[in-house]
Amino acid sequence: MSEAAAAPKRKVEGVPEKLHVWPYLVRLEFLCALVVIVALAVWSIVIDAPLEEAANPTKTPNPSKAPWYFLGLQDILVYFDPWFAGVVAPVLIIVGLMLIPYLDVNPKGNGYYTYHERKVAIWVYCFGFLVLWIALIIMGVFLRGPGWNLFMPWQYWDPHKVVALVSVDLPYAFGFRDYTWSAIFGGGVLLAYFGIGTGAYFFLERKALKSVGFLRMFLKIQLALIMMGIVIKIVLRIGFNIKYIMVTPWISV
Amino acid sequence: MANKAPQIPSIAEFIHKIKSGEIFTEIAKEITESQLWTSTFRHGYADTPRNRVLQIASNVWLHLHPVKMHRHALRIKFTWCMGGITFLLFLSTVVTGVILMFYYRPVGEYAYYDMKYLQYDVPFGMLMRNMHRWAAHAMVITVWLHMFRVFLTGSYKPPREFNWVIGVFLVTFTLLLSFTGYLLPWDQLAMWAVTVGTNMARATPFLGNEGPFAEYVGVTPRYDARSLLIGGSLVGPPALLRFYVLHCIFIPLIAGALMIVHFWRIRKDGGISGPL
């Protein structure tokens, strides 16, 4: 006997209707599990996991690719040194994700789909996830060939493809030839980027400072500037052949 | 007229009981009222509100659920079912992974040949290996989609901030589980993918021998963040053993503990999120 028949539905305003988990949720979970397990079994019967020749430390394949889920990170190695692309960027992604609930203080859109009540949050996350993570992975899996060069799907993966390295550092492009002055100029550009970005954000959102708090706003804009900075660096490299913005003996960005 | 002696039914009565079906009711009664049965099953199966509650509350596997829930939390359009599927895929990898462990030795000389053995000689070995690998890959995708759904519904907002942080740990450990498992086939694909991945540790600021400021710390290729991870200066047999232990023991234990917290917190934070 269904619950509806057992007790006539009372319309109590504001009290949401609750259902028994058994059977309504458990049967759904069961069906879902059944579908997933059957799909997994069929997939596993039809498609074999890859096994190449035995590991050989003297024979480096070209290209050598990380597991597919890390190819987004491997791809930004083109634009950044390993200390950033391989260490700092992943740490920033993890820490940044963990900080989301503490930085996003918008009380709206809690527990339901909405775009209009939290446009910026949705845009930032979708851009980071779908473009900087997923699109770069797809590019890394399908379009990166020998030498990590870009190949269209219809192109032959030529291991001898030569791509001229014509990129220069930003200070060089601006005419700086002296090492120290180049470093100072590059550092200045970076400082200006973060300084002006932070300042502009605080000025535009000055009304929110009281309710949101300084630390929240500061961390939020730094993370946003770093994320945008990655995009800017990619554009500078592809569009203007710029290698580094700042070069020092210790780190180069 | 007290007749204490047990009554032995006549054959006619017995046949009557069989014909009328009464005998089955009696047998069922004997079984369901036995000590064995009542100690195992605490409630009936009839569809009554009481049994619906007990079905969840008196079952160790199902009591993860609340007894009642909001209707909206049932909609697949809302939940995408991705969290549950991720957990299911994790369980699949545990089952298939343990089976693989019976045949696989994480030793440089044996590992690759154990893979061949698994594929060509062990009954259902290829199927177990395929299911393990594809479930692991699928789990990476479903955990990302779960996270995406939780973000889109704003479910990380108060009071669920802490559970989101646990979830980010779980995403990270899912990737690490998959990455450590990637080395175990000990073929070219495995060795070089892990070489590319672990080379990054070499560039860790201060702690990697090629990282910024390494010269102030004095790390060497044989003694830095990367060598800690792979037990040497290149991906060799020590790395295989380390990744095996991380993959089969260390990370599953931590991820399992975090999963317990993750699921428990869902309940404590008021169940699956919904419009307030």
| pLDDT average, residue stretch A49-75 | 95
Q: Is the N-terminal amide bond of A61 cis, ω within 30° of 0?
A: no
| Cβ-based neighbours of B232, under 8 Å, separated by 6 or more | B222, B238, B239
A49, A53, A61 member nearest B130 (Cβ): A49
Residue A5's pLDDT is what?
A: 46
Write the pLDDT tens digit of every residue in B35-74.
999 999 888 889 999 999 999 999 998 998 999 998 888 8
Task: State the smallest CA–CA distance between residue A14 and chain B in angstroms.
Answer: 10
- In chain B, % of residues over pLDDT 70: 97
- With CA atoms as reference, the chain A residue closest to B84 would be A29
At residue A17, the pLDDT reads 76
Quick check: B22 pLDDT over 70?
yes
Decide if B154 and A118 are in contact by the 8 Å CB cutoff. Answer: yes
Give residue A165's pLDDT.
82
Q: Give me the half-sphere count of Cα atoms (radius 13 Å) on the Cβ side of residue A172.
A: 11
Mean pLDDT of chain A: 91
- Count Cα neighbours of B219 within 13 Å in the Cβ-side half-sphere: 23
Residue A8 has pLDDT above 60, yes or no: no
Average of pLDDT values for B151-163? 96
User: Please, which residues have CB within 8 angstroms of residue A43's CB and are 6 or more apart in sequence?
Assistant: B130, B134
A188 near B CB under 8 A: no
CB contact under 8 A, B188 and A56: yes
pLDDT digit string (tens) for A151-174? 999 999 999 988 888 889 999 999
SS (H, E, C) A73-140: HHHHCCCCCHHHHHHHHHHHHHHHHHHHHHHCCCCCCCCCCCCCCCHHHHHHHHHHHHHHHHHHHHHH
Give chain A positions within 8 Å (CB) of B78. 113
B208: which chain A residues are within 8 Å (Cβ-Cβ)?
83, 87
pLDDT at B17: 86
Alpha-carbon span B63 to A239, nearest angstrom: 57
The pLDDT value recorded for residue A14 is 57
Is the four-CA dihedral B238, B243, B248, B254 of positive or negative sign? positive
Question: Chain B residues with CB inside 8 Å of A63's CB?
Answer: none
Using a CB-CB cut-off of 8 Å, the residues of chain B touching A6 are 49
Strands (E), chain B: 68-70
* Candidates B134, B140, B153; nearest CB to A43: B134
Q: B131: burial class by Cβ within 10 Å (0-12, 13-18, 19+)?
A: buried
Would you state the pLDDT for residue A77? Answer: 94
The pLDDT assigned to A2 comes to 46
SS (H, E, C) B121-181: CCCCHHHHHHHHHHHHHHHHHHHHHHHHHHHHCCCCCCCCHHHHHHHHHHHHHHHHHHHHH
Do A22 and B211 make contact, defined as CB atoms within 8 angstroms? Answer: no
Judging contacts by C-beta atoms under 8 Å, the chain B residues touching residue A25 are 65, 69, 73-74
Beta bridge partners of residue B197, listed in sequence order: none
pLDDT at A188 over 60: yes
Q: Which CATH number fits domain B77-268: 3.30.379.10, 1.20.810.10, 3.40.50.2300, 2.60.40.4070?
A: 1.20.810.10
Bigger pLDDT: B114 vs B7: B114
Closest CA in chain B for residue A85:
B200
| Residue of A17, A56, A97, A244 to mutate, testing the B interface (most B Cβ within 10 Å of its Cβ) | A97
Check B182 against A110: CB less than 8 A apart: no
The answer to whether residue A35 scores a pLDDT higher than 90 is yes
Residue A74 has pLDDT above 90, yes or no: yes
**Which residues does chain A have within 8 Å of residue B68's beta carbon, measured at their own beta carbons?**
18-21
Average pLDDT over residues B84-105: 97
Interface test with A, best of B151, B199, B262 (most A CBs within 10 A): B151
Q: Which two tokens stand for residue A56?
A: 């050989």
Could you report the per-residue pLDDT of B95-104, keeping only the tens digit for each? Answer: 999 999 999 9
**pLDDT at A3 exceeding the cut of 70:** no
Q: What is the pTM of this model?
A: 0.91
Q: Please report the pLDDT score of residue B9 as a whole number.
A: 73
B168 and A16: CB-CB below 8 Å?
no
Parse chain B into domains and list their residue ranges: 77-268
What pLDDT is stored for residue A4 in this prediction?
A: 46
* Interface touch B275/A83, C-beta < 8 Å: no
pLDDT digits 0-9 by tens, B108-152: 999 999 999 999 999 999 999 999 999 999 999 999 999 999 999
Contact B158 A111 (CB under 8 A): no
Our CA-based measurement puts residue B191 at a distance from the nearest CA of chain A, in whole angstroms, of 6
Q: In the prediction, which pLDDT does B2 show?
A: 55
| Ranges A34-43, A91-100, B178-187, B207-216: which has the least confidence | B207-216
Out of A6-20, A83-97, A186-200, which region has the weakest mean confidence (pLDDT)?
A6-20
